[in-house]
Chain A
């Protein structure tokens, strides 16, 4: 399984560019970490349910009542680029 770990491919999935130096370094460091976590393969979990989080609460809902949110100005206040009251992004569709 370790041999299949490919930093370049995984970084692509995470939309994260890396330099060649980072790719080499992370490949070796994270292979070590993956080797370490292999120990879990030795634990018998055949009869065990997974824990997603510590408290058994599900489907928490609240009354669907309108309340104030951000104004458009507040929502855009941190935008690195905006145009006509909208977030501006590079062209997505050719």
Chain B
């Protein structure tokens, strides 16, 4: 296996035996990016010189010593751009490190490269980027998923060993599924969002993309834990997330929610997920049928709550303190209106308007308050299910990757792509997607993702369950042929 295909664990073994140096690993990565990123367009930006300097000084004995990690372009890394794939933040330079970056650096990792995304994380295909359309490494006519499409594509294409993304309604898990890598959304409150550009503050969470489950555990070890700079980041004990990896599944109960196995899911996706469930049974897990009766309302609740929060969060883009500013405005209202018209793309505008509407006088109770109440019902569904099972098993996405341009003019259809991932954010629990097979579409294999959903703050158990399946299959070793 070539150097760029190694997992973090394998790479670290090479570092520590001095077979490979962090500089050599970075050079190999840069060569790979130069060879294939013209086709994939996973990166918006990267500072090779700065990364090289960090690699020369890397301490390979640190938990992530010398490991380059790509960062979604909505997390502040001091001195770097942080565009959120929006024209409104073109030219912005981050004046500070996000807490996750401070922690990655303290663990010895090298933040390297800024990955493409849907503008302000709004989308499920990465087509809403103002700068580039990222391509799925398995079929470059297709989308990589979104909103963290760049972070998923660069890991799948061996242009990164791992990356960070953010997940508000599935933005880590869905692209991980569509690109064939591992993507973890930690529980709400597990990881600090200080320095993450906010989309929907009651839902956003930062998490890793990686080639193996173990690598996601290693990154979660580095970035988790209480942060006084984010009051929603809980002071919960942080276990070693690798500690339970390798334990067997005897006595583990997995819930199969009947609402997630319905017509409408691509038959090949359904088949792959059912095969994975059989595999779990053969590994000793017990499969229990469960019900999450309010699942059908998750998308509606999400598009009210997420847009409402976004409309408030994005009010900060006013052309005064940073970012784009309209050329000449005669008064302040014209200044705001034109700055925002010129800076935001269509999907962001749509969501600001929808969010403003559901919060506006006369409609707040009918839309926003009602959505918050149905959100309670969705949380209670999960709480009840977790009285009976240790984790929930289902598809990550109802379909494999679709074609570029296929639904960019149909927002509602695009929103329904997140149908299996959204409820996890509304409930604030953790979820992971990992490869579980391929759908053959027009002669090409397209990855299928298996989603496991865990109890709040039970990432260690979730990773254990994911790891057991992964190690019993070869799906995670498959690589796309690019070019």
At the interface, yes or no: A3 with Cβ under 8 Å from chain B? Answer: no
Please report the total number of A residues contacting B with Cβ < 8 Å: 50
Report the nearest A residue to B356, measured CB to CB.
A14
Q: How far is the CA of A26 from the CA of B355 in the complex (A)?
A: 13
CB interface residues, A 1-24, toward B, < 8 Å: 1, 5, 7, 10-11, 13-19, 22
Measured CB to CB, the closest approach of chain B to A75, in angstroms, equals: 8
- Inter-subunit contact A15/B340 (CB<8 Å): yes
Q: How far is the CA of A80 from the CA of B329 in the complex (A)?
A: 14
At the interface, yes or no: B271 with Cβ under 8 Å from chain A? Answer: no
- Inter-subunit contact B379/A14 (CB<8 Å): no
Q: How far is the CA of A10 from the CA of B321 in the complex (A)?
A: 25
Q: For residue A57, which residues in chain B have a CB less than 8 angstroms away from its CB? A: 189, 231-232, 234
- Inter-subunit contact A53/B346 (CB<8 Å): no
- Inter-subunit contact A33/B340 (CB<8 Å): no
Report the nearest B residue to A47, measured CB to CB.
B373
Interface flags, A42-79, vs B, CB<8A=1, else 0: 01010011111111010010100000001000110111
Q: How far is the CA of A32 from the CA of B231 in the complex (A)?
A: 37
- Inter-subunit contact B375/A50 (CB<8 Å): yes
Q: How far is the CA of A43 from the CA of B323 in the complex (A)?
A: 42
At the interface, yes or no: B282 with Cβ under 8 Å from chain A? Answer: no
- Inter-subunit contact A43/B354 (CB<8 Å): no
Q: For residue A81, which residues in chain B have a CB less than 8 angstroms away from its CB? A: 325
At the interface, yes or no: B287 with Cβ under 8 Å from chain A? Answer: no
- Inter-subunit contact B202/A52 (CB<8 Å): yes
- Inter-subunit contact B335/A90 (CB<8 Å): yes
Q: For residue A32, which residues in chain B have a CB less than 8 angstroms away from its CB? A: 411-412
**At the interface, is chain A mostly helix, strand, loop or mixed?**
loop
Report the nearest A residue to B371, measured CB to CB.
A40
Instruction: Pick the most buried of B201, B366, B415: most chain A CB atoms within 10 A of its CB.
Output: B366
Contact A45 to B379, CB < 8 A, known contacts A16-B337, A79-B321: no
Q: For residue A83, which residues in chain B have a CB less than 8 angstroms away from its CB? A: none
- Inter-subunit contact A51/B372 (CB<8 Å): yes
A16 CB contact (under 8 Å) in B349, B377, B428: B349
Contact A77 to B93, CB < 8 A, known contacts A16-B352, A43-B297: yes
Residues of chain B at the chain A interface (Cβ within 8 Å): 91-93, 95, 188-189, 201-202, 228, 231-232, 234, 294, 296-297, 299-301, 303-304, 311, 315, 318-325, 329-338, 340-341, 344, 346, 349-350, 352-354, 356-357, 360, 363, 366-367, 369-377, 379, 411-412, 415, 426-429, 456
- Identify the 4 closest CB pairs spanning chains A and B, nearest first: A54-B428, A50-B372, A78-B322, A80-B325
10 other A-B residue contacts (CB within 8 Å) besides A30-B354, A30-B357, A79-B322: A14-B353, A32-B412, A34-B357, A37-B304, A40-B300, A41-B370, A43-B373, A45-B373, A50-B373, A55-B232
Q: List 16 A-B contacts (CB under 8 A).
A: A1-B363, A5-B357, A10-B353, A14-B356, A16-B349, A17-B338, A17-B340, A18-B349, A32-B411, A36-B300, A51-B426, A53-B202, A55-B234, A78-B323, A79-B321, A80-B319
